[in-house]
Structure 1
Amino acid sequence: MQQLKSLEDIQQVIAEQQLVLLVIKTGQCGVCESVQAKVSTMLKTRSDVTGIYAYMEDAPEAASAYLAFSAPTVLVFFEGKEVFRIARFVRFDELDHVLSQYEEVLKEQS
């Protein structure tokens, strides 16, 4: 996963990539680190998903733009639009299912 430090960088990745997973987290949050590590491991087998993350402290405008009121917040974007959001208590089975559905759509399009 790639760390981004500005809203502009995040928006550029979302605009350029078809399927993006964004984790917004805080620096002093153990749960955030754990969630990012699990998401990062999950994405290793998913070449169609671009994984990025940002710290609220580094990019407060990103947290504001994406209405990330708690940490961690995990967002999935498909073709530039937010299609899934989960915050604080991340259910990885649900996240895995959503990513699988959108990966299937990408395979059907190609």
Structure 2
Amino acid sequence: MGNFRDLHTLDEVSNFIHKHQLAFLYITQPNCSVCHGLLPQVQALMEKYPKIALAKVDAVEVQAIAGEFSIFTAPVLLLFIDGKEYLREARIVQMDFLKKNWIASIIM
């Protein structure tokens, strides 16, 4: 699927999750250096898994996302399978762990 699609409302987020069997959300904030530094690494990893639909949400723009998904920090990486949250990583994401345990265990 390639690049992350920007979502701008909670309805768009909900529709995205329920439309795709495998849906990945990257929740970010504008002034978050960790968010901006991690995004290219996650995007490079996700290119290996074209069946996963990718979306990005600005938690400042879509403030209701914090309550909807119990988000207390950024970035937050969420993977949904058939509309249900399956995996979550937040703030300090270990890319090696993500590669070995997160995505590979589901897709392979």
With structure 2 as the length reference, what TM-score do the two structures score? Answer: 0.89
Q: Following the alignment from structure 2 to structure 1, what is the Cα–Cα distance between the partners of residues 55 and 36?
A: 13
Aligned to 2:69: 66
- Mapping for residues 8-87 of structure 1, pairs under 5 Å: 8-87=11-90
**1:102 and 2:106 correspond:** yes
Asked if the contact 1:78/1:102 (under 8 Å) is kept, the reply is no
What letter corresponds to residue 54 of structure 2 in structure 1? G
Q: Could you tell me how far 1:7 is from its partner in structure 2?
A: 0.9
Instruction: Assess if the C-alpha contact under 8 Å between 1:56 and 1:63 holds in 2.
Output: yes
CA displacement 1:61-92 (0-9 Å, x = unmatched)? 11220111001111111111111111111011
**What is the TM-score when the length of structure 1 is the normalising length?**
0.88
> What secondary structure is seen at the aligned counterpart in 1 of 2:8?
coil
Deviation at 1:9, TM superposition (A): 0.5
Amino acid at match of 1:38: Q
Q: Letter of the 1:103 partner, please give it.
A: I
Cα displacement (A) at 1:34: 1.3
Q: Which runs of 5+ in 1 are unaligned?
A: 105-110
